[in-house]
Structure 1
């Protein structure tokens, strides 16, 4: 019995010796304290580069277990081993050669000998009780020792042929255990080996099988991990596809609503015109009816008069008036002429339809119409005087029917446009001082200090306008993206980590967070931000592609374009405001700049996909000076372009010939400084704008 317990239950799988000072792992396998400590030291691995947590595999089942901080002492001691050793000592004390004939559970003699002992219950059991013991769920995990095979540690099985001989050899030819007499008789020419040696060979074979099973189990665990990863990837793709479907469906629905509203408006206009025309005819007809009825009454009255002199006297005037009424006949056709009504023509693709009328010509918008709709007349006149625009204006219409104004200048005029002179160049790739890492957001303070938000290192750097380094403000938990200037040398930026707005005091480095709870109800992923003069914010959402006006605490007040469901966005990014609190939205995916007033009402838009003058390609940052000139970072075309306050293209301020590569952020100062950030190059260029502002405006 002692040898069986030692080899099967009390053996350490690492040193193959008897368990000494055993500790149990979470997987319930036990090992010697020094063996386990040595195994942890050579097999533990770090979970990830960022976490300090380490793990090691169980030597038996290969399950990964977190490494203890204080060593094996953190694991519980295996008291089962202690109990089994106590049971073994008790067995030695009583004498293993004595057969127990009384079951300690039923406490009565039985025909079959008692051959089992439960180390946990510390009871000897008969064959009937051991079955009940094993089928009881609470007792099924106990360690049960068979006594029939351990009556004597050195007792061997008896040969089935020679009953007075024990089996000490194994015949490999017959695969049978034999005694020494069998070797001399029936197994003389067979392959015979020692039984203990044969047993060791079998154990080696079984250990090899166990190693193979462990290897297969490890591979299967790795496969299961990969399958779980694939499942997560598929689930993520599924959610992304559903989000794309919802967004695309939303755009299509908004487009249908836009077309519906347009057609209904056109139908209302046509109806109103016809209705007013019919009302005018009805009024004219009613006048004729009244006149004819009155004349008829007078004639009837005159016919009843008996005085001949009165009849003759009034006859001439009444007859003449009656003859004049015959002129009505030539108007009768006009009065009852059915007007050519509007008809609805449906389309299969694109717009859902259009309104046509045979007696109507297609109206083409003129430049004056655009001026009247989007600008103010007094400013337009001043603008035209400054730029000396010719009377002829070119309108380029895209597929959506929206005009992008491009000015045509007289050949003998030289309008004054902004000219950029490089003042300084800031940054280089890196995380040290004077170096930048993904500088997306930039802004000038009131005293013309340049504030640069680094998305890659999570910090704010402050420079002079000449590019001299002043200070760095670390933001360990933030990932700043877009930046906008507030009053009193404060800036507000979007934090990609916490998905909220944060306000930073550049002078004191104090950081304030706009309520994240409110922002969650407003935007899902705040990207661009701009501030209004009353303290409110304008925030763009990259996930749901919306632009919202919020209070200073992040509570949503209005979503731009909500009155017109068709006014949707495609990747809205950077925002800007002017001195009148007009809001400029860089709708990068549609290659346009959209303009709203401070109440969120749509004013106009400009730009179109292309490389020509007046075209944009994935516009990013926007800056507006005090006179209304609009500076746009045309990232896709590697340039910065200037537009008038009405969206007319003026000039290219700087392009790749100036060293610009995908310009992203823009910042303007009142003294005519313009900063341009280039995250791809990890640099910021500062320009001095000369002859930049038409002061008459």
Structure 2
């Protein structure tokens, strides 16, 4: 691999320890063949038993000597030496022996690790003790396309420090020097020292066989990885296709239902006409018969009351004839279909409440446009924004209007119309929705019943998505001011609670106006994380502080700010973010423990979550509907997802500055749809990922504010605690 590395152009992966992210210091190789600094491994081993490789998480059994017994990675040492030499041979670098008193080409002594001028090189070679030292000339370095094969540290015997390891005792499987072959490893039944050259050739052949064994499997794994990556990339397409199919299917069902509704309504109208005609005919016949009967009855009554005997005799025959005529042709008095009714073919009782709310009876009152008002809310480009219209009468009372009675027209800076939608929010209240595509000043014209609303047209300033909708606080110690806010939470009233590290307090703000509502001091100098429990209490974490040793704790405060409980479990070392479950259990990110601690309400430990996976956990979000815990890892530039039993479900993110990449992630939250919102401290990017960790979009970029904890407000804004900005910024989320 060294031969492929251009001179002076080293890949930092080969020189950088994955733990400390610095150049290797005394690199040691684990049995899994991953290399780390000796000090890093020693520190890692003190925190974790059994020891797992920080890279591949393979469990490792250390030698009896511990980390010191691990083999040194001589190849990495050679690379580090070569990098140092290449830097040292640059212009203006003096000889490290005579300090530039002599001129001439420079060379490098591998054993002494010093840069020599030509004169000092000659002197160096004349010393008997240094005759075996390896000298690499500047010409060799400059002509080399990579690390010269001769550029290697010589390995010296640990028992005879001036002797190079030149033999290998096969029965002991140990490298030895010439002195050892005489003293401790003389040839015999128990020892057989052989020159390292012949042994190395055999070992090289063995390594070639190992490579031959590994390469097919490596190819298969790479091919499978590419296939999985391809499937991951194709997943959104297939999901979108499934959504289209599902949408088409349900649209067909809706269309069928709509067609059936129209058929039933048409049939009802037709039946109504048929029944109406039938009833009208019956009514006409009955009315005629009734008129005849009434007339005959009245005639007979008059004859009886007022007629003489002669008159009665004369009219009786005529009356009898008329009555017999009426009685022989009576109207049909049987029941006729008199109603058209509808019966449900499928029970829809569960939808009756919704149906009952699908209409209301209102009395229209004349609107006084001079007293109507429009509330222009902060407007962000490419987001669905809303303005609120209030329609009132001459007395200033909210009154209803029909949707067709008013219009709302929005135009962009170029005069192009922006589509608007109107939706009734309540009696006399209407929402005007629009999605502007450009920034700048827009004009909104609102007319009711042909008259302009007072103040119309309105100026609508459309800002970029990186502009916060609302900024809460500024630096200071007074009411409404903030000092180093680290985390935010939303209380039961939708207000924003802020943990202030600088002022040692919690302050509550109105999420809509940014006005400070109240504050209370906390019993600790370094509040860090904050969350709310189901009863509305504030749960505040206090991390380790050099100036206040033993301060680390979890404290519980009532809604009024009174301290009700202090928890200091033995497992707590350096708590950062905290999240509270519905049943009162708590999850705390502990940086020193490199894990998340699931605690009972009384602070007792239930289990560690993430140990062996997490390097530097900061903030936590919990989705109890899916039994998932999301953790930002600041140093690993990742988000890890565990279930509450502690099993790793998946992780996502890779370090970088591009969209979808993570750079020192801090705050995290989950929206109702299961999407994951993460803010980067490194570049301020506020990003949204799908429930499976797939990148969806960037909400905004929080420039130069050192963002920490975040929270989603009920009205779909993301509140971001900006430590360096000494404020909380709200960005539109939907």
Smaller-chain TM-score range? 0.3 to 0.5
**Bigger radius of gyration:** 1
TM-score, normalised to structure 2's length? Answer: 0.40
Relative contact order, CA 8 A, sep 6+: which one is greater?
1
TM-score, normalised to structure 1's length? Answer: 0.42
